[in-house]
Amino acid sequence: MPPDDAALIADWTALCAALENDDSLSCGPLACGLLAAVALGLSGDSRGFARDFGIAHALVLREVNILSGDLGLLTVNRNDERTQRRFLTLSPAGKDLTDRLTRA
């Protein structure tokens, strides 16, 4: 499960909602949740996010591919080929997007 810090959970929930409602972003709720988790420092890798939120790692990897590929919002810093874990940070475009939405 996500952290127990109520303020951090509220921030994550608010950022997820803002990402889902943003017209410039065309992705689903799982991608929005992952992007918000990376932006807020809740998760730095795909397997950790999958475990924390009770989601199959394969589904998270699919969203990582979309967010880091076509959309260019995440950067994969390192891959663990054995576990398929992807270590993630926001790209400059992802940082600009999440900063804009958290200020709004």
DSSP 68-95: HTTS--EEEEEEETTTTEEEEEE-HHHH
Residue 93 lies inside a defined structural domain of this protein: yes
Question: What global pTM score does this model have?
Answer: 0.91
Residue 91 sits in a domain of what CATH number? 1.10.10.10
Residue 31 lies inside a defined structural domain of this protein: yes
- C-alpha–C-alpha distance, residues 89 and 104, integer Å: 22
Residue 75 lies inside a defined structural domain of this protein: yes
Count up the domains in the chain and report the number.
1
Residue 94 lies inside a defined structural domain of this protein: yes
Q: What is the pLDDT of residue 1?
A: 43
- Using the predicted structure, report yes or no on whether residue 43 has a pLDDT greater than 50: yes
Measured CA to CA in angstroms, residue 97 lies from 47, 54, 69, 82, 87 at distances of: 24, 26, 16, 32, 20
Residues sharing a CB contact under 8 Å with residue 53, sequence separation 6 or more, in sequence order:
1, 2, 33, 37
57 versus 9: which is more confidently predicted? 57
Average pLDDT over the chain, rounded to an integer: 92
Task: Give residue 34's domain range.
Answer: 6-103
- Using the predicted structure, report yes or no on whether residue 2 has a pLDDT greater than 90: no
DSSP-derived secondary structure letter, 40: T
Residue 29 lies inside a defined structural domain of this protein: yes
Q: What is the pLDDT of residue 103?
A: 86
Residue 1 lies inside a defined structural domain of this protein: no
What is the pLDDT confidence band of residue 29, given thresholds at 50, 70 and 90? very high
Each residue's pLDDT tens digit, 88-98: 999 999 999 99
Residue 99 lies inside a defined structural domain of this protein: yes
> Mean pLDDT, to the nearest integer, of 9-29?
92
